Amino acid sequence: MGARASRSPGGDSATVVISQRVRAGRVDDYKRWQEKTNQVARSFEGFESDELYPPASDEENEWVEVFRFSHIHQLTAWLGSDARQRLLDEGNALLEGPPTQEVLTGGAPAQDAVTAVVSHEVRPGREQDFARWQDKMLKAQEKFPGFMGSELFKPVRGLQDRWVVVFRFDTRAHLEEWLASDLRRKLLDEGRDCFVSYDVRKIGSSFGGWFRFGAGAAREMPPNWKQAMSVLLALYPTVMVLNLTLGPALVRFGVAGYLGLFISNICSVAILTWILMPLVNRGLAFWLLPERARSARVHVAGAALVAVFYGVLLLIFALTT
């Protein structure tokens, strides 16, 4: 596997984003092998966390693993170790082809909810033109709904020659909207003179911060539809209770509507993050954890249970409001 490393100012932290396509029928074997790989990585000095992101759809079939280390030399020690090479040799039979990876050093780690990592092979002598074109691309991104930020990582001399851009959106739908937009296609056509090729890796989840299982968030995330159902289960009663209690109180104190809504949102996010979502995660772990929900029966039973909870909540508020 060839490493592609990039650098951004601000710190010496290091992240590697590894993308790999798994052979049909070998997903369970791949998960066991990946967990074994994670266990070995955790024994290396400077290890901070690892995260596994399954494909967004069956058609994509791209699994993304993210490792974070405190310093680049510690990450390099892991990437070049004999232990990791043995694991790569062991896992070759599970993959359709060689994995690809981007190494990001410095800057903010690529761990936000929905993140795209794009690597470019820039034409020699066109680096400044590429940087100007990338700045134009950023200005276009900023106008799209849900855009959260972007970072440009330059190549590291002697290690690799790829430029890497990491950008983030608040939801997968907003990310896909930007990636599929006519404006982005137009800008890509404009930049063809600056770069030879590019690769796009998508990682993350619409509700990633509310679904963390295991040390260092190492385990894979529940599918988006389960996350959405779980968030709704906690969000609906939170909003209803706040509307019945905090809302009238704010009105009595003469708080303007826009400010009252802002205060209510602060309270609802805090309640979800630190109280209700941890309870939902524990109560529905049998259904949310991919490693435990392995059969259609569990998927259906968990969804039916959540639907029953919906009905109970609707009945309670129908009788009390």
Residue ranges making up the domain that contains 313: 222-320
* Neighbour tally for 128: CB within 10 Å: 9
Q: Are 79 and 5 in contact (CB under 8 A)?
A: no
Q: Are residues 199 and 235 in the same domain?
A: no
Digit-coded pLDDT (tens) for 241-281: 998 999 899 888 998 887 888 898 889 888 988 899 889 98
Domain CATH for 147: 3.30.70.100
DSSP 8-state secondary structure symbol assigned to residue 217: G
Q: Are 5 and 105 in contact (CB under 8 A)?
A: yes
The enclosing H or E element of 233 equals helix 224-244
187 domain-assigned:
yes
**Which of 176, 208, 240 is at the close of a domain?**
208
Q: Are residues 94 and 235 in the same domain?
A: no
Overall number of domains in the chain: 2
Q: Are residues 39 and 103 in the same domain?
A: yes
Q: Are residues 130 and 257 in the same domain?
A: no
pLDDT at residue 110, rounded to an integer: 42
**Which of 208, 236, 271 is at the close of a domain?**
208
DSSP string, 144-187: STTEEEEEEEEEBTTTB-EEEEEEEESSHHHHHHHHT-HHHHHH
161 domain-assigned:
yes
88 domain-assigned:
yes
Q: Which of 81, 87, 74 is nearest to 46 (CA)?
A: 74
Q: Are residues 122 and 271 in the same domain?
A: no
Tens-binned pLDDT, residue by residue, of the chain (321 aa):
434 344 344 446 788 888 888 998 999 999 999 999 999 999 999 898 888 877 766 667 778 888 888 888 888 899 989 999 999 999 999 999 888 777 776 654 444 457 788 888 899 999 999 999 999 999 999 899 888 778 787 776 655 567 888 888 877 788 889 999 999 999 999 998 998 887 777 666 555 556 655 443 344 567 778 888 999 999 999 999 998 999 899 888 998 887 888 898 889 888 988 899 889 988 998 898 776 777 888 889 999 999 999 999 999 999 998
Q: Are 284 and 230 in contact (CB under 8 A)?
A: yes
pLDDT at residue 210, rounded to an integer: 60
Q: Are residues 64 and 22 in the same domain?
A: yes
Give me the long-range contacts of 150-156 (CB less than 8 A, separation at least 24).
Answer: 151/8, 151/107, 151/108, 152/8, 153/6, 153/7, 153/8, 153/104, 153/105, 153/106, 153/107, 154/6, 154/7, 154/8, 155/5, 155/6, 155/7, 156/5, 156/6, 156/7, 156/105
268 domain-assigned:
yes
For 286, phi then psi, to 5°, come to -60, -25
**Which of 208, 243, 261 is at the close of a domain?**
208
Sign of CA pseudo-dihedral 92, 78, 157, 204: positive
pLDDT at residue 30, rounded to an integer: 93
Q: Are 155 and 108 in contact (CB under 8 A)?
A: no
Digit-coded pLDDT (tens) for 60-114: 777 888 888 888 888 889 998 999 999 999 999 999 988 877 777 665 444 445 7
Answering whether pTM is above 0.75, one says: no
Q: Are residues 153 and 226 in the same domain?
A: no
217 domain-assigned:
no
